Structure formats: structure tokens, C-alpha cells
Amino acid sequence: MKIKSNSCCFFKTLFTFILQIYKLAMGTFLLLFVPQNCEGQTCSMLELWQPVQTEYQMALYFNALTLAMFLWTYMWELKRERWCIQHLDNNKHIAADNLSGILQNRADLDEKLRSLNVHYIHSLHITGGICFINFVGSGYLIALRYLDISTITSYFSFMLLILMKLQSSYNVGKQSYHENIALSAYINQPLTFNTLAGLQYDEERGSALTYDSTTGYHYLHA
């Protein structure tokens, strides 16, 4: 698949990002969205939003911190994705690892991609740690106000929602970091950016690198 429109691809990514934020808000603010027991009846949203006990107030702040950490991670994810859309492309007619050869001749692009991959994987590590603490702390307080089976199912449903997103992003970030490649974190089908984008890289676009022991890497135009 060749990415024909950078703007179209970016707005599709932005829509996916907004949808993910909605899901993450529900998955990180566990104290607000998991049904709980308040004096023998289901807690109202006001009771959950303005708890009297200090520990629940602190837990809500930590819920907010967890969401903020996800937004920070998404900032790097979107920044990386937009850079890939602007500078790279996917060409199914050339090898998936074609980009690695190109980067050997383009130190500027190689350095930028490495920097984006490093920041992305580090943000995932930190956010994953914060998320784990949030699960444990919020889960303990929610258990103290257990309502019925809906408390358990809601808690684990939201937790699964977050873990699936973290796993998906971590798989992309880890492989991209270790292999210095540009895997997309948003395109639904498997996609690897393996060549340069059009217009600004016309001479190299649609070309594959070939290696000769004497001359080294050079472009082989279709």
C-alpha cells in the first residue's frame, strides 16, 4: 500500500487518537467509572467526583496523573507518526527492510528516527509503571466499596482496555527502537515505512537500494 495523501493519513491518525483518548479517560479514571457502594446504594457521580475521604481524593489525583502520562506518551506517538507520514512512505514492491539501507546514506533522517524511537519507548516504560501503580491503588480502594459483580467486571474491562493499548504500542515501540525502523502505531493493517515520501525526495522515491561490495549501496530505480 502506498500512502497517497499525507493530509488524509494524518487526519485519520488524529481521529484514531481522539477515540483512544476517550477510551483511556474511562480506563484511567477507575474511581469514577467503576460502580461502587456508598452507604448501601450505588455511588452517584457527584459522590465519586467529590469524595470526602483523603485517600480517595489522592487516588483521583493519581487517576488524573495516569491520564496525563498517557497524553504525554501520545504526544511522542503522534509526533513520531506525523514525521513518518511526512518523510517516509510504504511501497509493497520493495523489501520491508529497504529503509535501513536508505538511512545509511541519510544521516539526518537516521538520527531523527532514532531520537523519536528512543523518546517513544522511554515514555511507554514510564507510563506503564504509573499505570500499574494506578491499577493497584485504585483497585484496593474500589474493593473497599464493593457493590456487586458489576464492580469486578467493570474494573477488569477497563484494565484490559488499557493493557491492550499499552501492549500494542509497546510492541511497535520496542521493535522500532531495537531495529531502528518505522513501524506505524496507527494504521490498522501491518505497515512498515520502507522508503522516502514523494515530492521532497523525488529522486529516491520508489527506488530500492542494492548493495555492491565495491561501490556499496546505490539506488536501483524501477
pLDDT band at 215 (very low <50, low <70, confident <90, very high): very low
Q: For 27-38, how does the pLDDT look when each residue is reduced to its tens digit (9 = 90+)?
A: 999 999 999 999
Q: What is the DSSP string of 62-104?
A: HHHHHHHHHHHHHHHHHHHHHHHHHHEE--TTS-TTHHHHHHH
User: Where are the chain's structural domains?
Assistant: 6-189
Beta bridge partners, 195, equal 89
Q: What is the mean pLDDT of residues 64-93?
A: 88
On the question of pLDDT at 20 being above 90, the answer is no
Query: pLDDT value at position 129?
Result: 96
Query: pLDDT value at position 211?
Result: 45
> d(Cα 128, Cα 115) in Å, to the nearest integer?
20
Q: For 138-172, how does the pLDDT look when each residue is reduced to its tens digit (9 = 90+)?
A: 999 999 999 999 999 999 999 998 999 899 899 99
How far, in Å, are 1, 51, 222 from residue 176 at the CA level? 20, 43, 27
> d(Cα 87, Cα 75) in Å, to the nearest integer?
18
> d(Cα 96, Cα 98) in Å, to the nearest integer?
6
Phi–psi pair at 68, nearest 5 degrees: -60, -40
Q: What is the mean pLDDT of residues 89-118?
A: 83
